[in-house]
Amino acid sequence: MSAVDNVLERFLNQKPPIINESLIVRATTDIEKVASSMRRLAVSASEHDTPQGREQAAKALKKIKDARIVFSTCAGAGLGLVRKLEFGLVVVDEASQIVEPVALIPLVKGSERAILVGDQPASEVLNHDRSLFERLYLEADSPDVRKCMLDIQYRFNASLAAFPSKRFYEGRLRSGIDDSVRQIPPSAFPWPTKKVGRVFISCDTPESLGSSSKKNEGQVQLVKNIVRLLQAPPNSGPGAQKAPAVPKNSVSIALLTPYSRQSKELSNLNLVDCHAYTIDGVQGREFDIVIFSTVRCNEEGEIGFMDDERRLNVAWTRARYGRIVIGDRHTLEHHELWKDALQDCEEVVLPTD
């Protein structure tokens, strides 16, 4: 699902509805690229030369003009029928991830006001040119440009918020979620407690080198075992959780990794209700449980581009209930950033069959 469809889906899931669905349009020049669940709102913004095509375009243009809210990518705002329109207010989400020329496309369409929303400490994850968001946030000195930090988050409880707040947000990030609301769903996985969802699992299998990316087969198999435990009912032995098991499809699980090769290996597991992502491709998304395969395991303690606060920030802030980090402590703790991060986790050992 694209970033704009992800935002649209979350917008539509608000209860009670913010606005009648009939007043919302997802404008695109390629409907096939719109998420299937969002296509009922999709309107083709393509222009046509044939009489029939022009008639269809006229109807589409009217629908777009009649909408109160138009969802589009930044690039899409400069294509087809949409490029002819002006908007009084433009909201650019994930603005810290968009290079400046692309961010300007929707902003030069006669808008009276613009709101750029982004995560400055997690900006430039893609290592592109500086974003317009970051330039304005750090350098803007004008009464016409104001900045503020939304310092209350509603994704995870205070336990998961503590480290990101201290490390990345100068202690200013607060949780608007009561700990009792974000208790970990019961399962056979050995969480320290129902409220502690910060776990590290050791894996000393060496990484496999590739021409352009890396993988770690030992961590792949460990992920498979972890998912099996997360989707199994609690054990019936002494001290086991007594709550009933949560149905598999009610808990979303992300398999997160820095490396595209490892992401492909995780996808090939074909685990039910699990999806694999790279860090650079998961910005803006959230999941109930995140399993983070760090991949790196070598005698030299090299971790490459993982020694990056912005990437770690993204990885550490995707989970609603629990974050499970898999890695080699010897390799990771060569770096101050990761040594600090692992102190935020409680190490557990998986039960043997």
Q: Which residue has the tokens 């777009």?
A: 64
Query: In degrees rounded to 5, what are phi and psi of residue 19?
Result: -155, 155
Q: Give the 3-state secondary structure of residue 351.
A: coil
Cβ 87 vs Cβ 110: under 8 Å: yes
Written as one string, the DSSP assignment of 13-63 is: T-SS-SS-GGGEEEEES-GGGS-GGGGGGEEE----SSHHHHHHHHHHHHH
pLDDT of residue 238: 43
pLDDT of residue 237: 42
> Which residues of the chain does CATH 3.40.50.300 include?
3-139, 152-347
- In degrees, to the nearest 5, what angle opens at C-alpha 76 toward C-alphas 72 and 79? 135
What is the C-alpha to C-alpha distance for residues 310 and 296, in angstroms, rounded to an integer?
18
pLDDT of residue 353: 66
Q: Is the peptide bond before 16 cis (omega within 30 degrees of 0)?
A: yes
Distances (CA, A) of 172 to 153, 219, 309, 314, 325: 11, 34, 17, 17, 25
Q: Are strands 319-327 and 198-202 parallel, antiparallel or unpaired?
A: parallel
Written as one string, the DSSP assignment of 158-224 is: HHHHHHHHHHHSTT--EE-S-TTTTPPPP-SS--SSSS--EEEEE--PPPEE-SS-EE-HHHHHHHH
> Could you read off the pLDDT tens digit of each residue along the chain, which spans 353 residues?
778 998 899 899 888 999 999 999 999 999 998 989 999 999 999 888 788 888 999 999 999 999 999 999 999 999 999 988 999 999 999 888 888 889 999 998 888 899 999 887 665 544 456 788 888 887 777 788 888 888 999 899 888 999 999 999 999 999 998 877 788 889 999 999 877 899 999 999 999 987 789 999 999 999 999 999 999 988 744 445 544 444 455 789 999 999 999 999 999 999 999 999 999 888 778 999 999 999 999 999 999 999 999 899 999 999 999 999 999 999 999 999 999 999 999 999 998 76
R_g of the chain, CA atoms, integer Å: 22
What is the C-alpha to C-alpha distance for residues 51 and 326, in angstroms, rounded to an integer?
59
What is the C-alpha to C-alpha distance for residues 197 and 107, in angstroms, rounded to an integer?
41
From the list 141, 143, 119, the residue with the least C-alpha distance to 131 is 119
What CATH architecture is 3-139?
A: 3-Layer(aba) Sandwich (3.40)
End-to-end CA distance of the chain: 37
| CATH class of domain segment(s) 152-347 | alpha beta
Cβ 141 vs Cβ 116: under 8 Å: no
Cβ contacts of residue 107 below 8 Å, gap of 6+?
Answer: 90, 92, 114
Among left, alpha and beta (phi > 0; psi -120 to 50; other), residue 124 is left
User: What's the token pair of residue 289?
Assistant: 């449980």
pLDDT of residue 124: 54
The one-letter amino acid code at 81 reads L
Question: What burial letters (b/e) apply to 137-161, b meaning 16+ CB within 10 Å?
Answer: beeeeeeeeeeeeeeebebbbebbb
Considering Cα of 270, then 318, then 181, then 192, what sign does the dihedral take? positive
Cβ 312 vs Cβ 209: under 8 Å: no
From the list 6, 20, 8, 23, the residue with the least C-alpha distance to 71 is 8
User: What's the token pair of residue 190?
Assistant: 């050995």
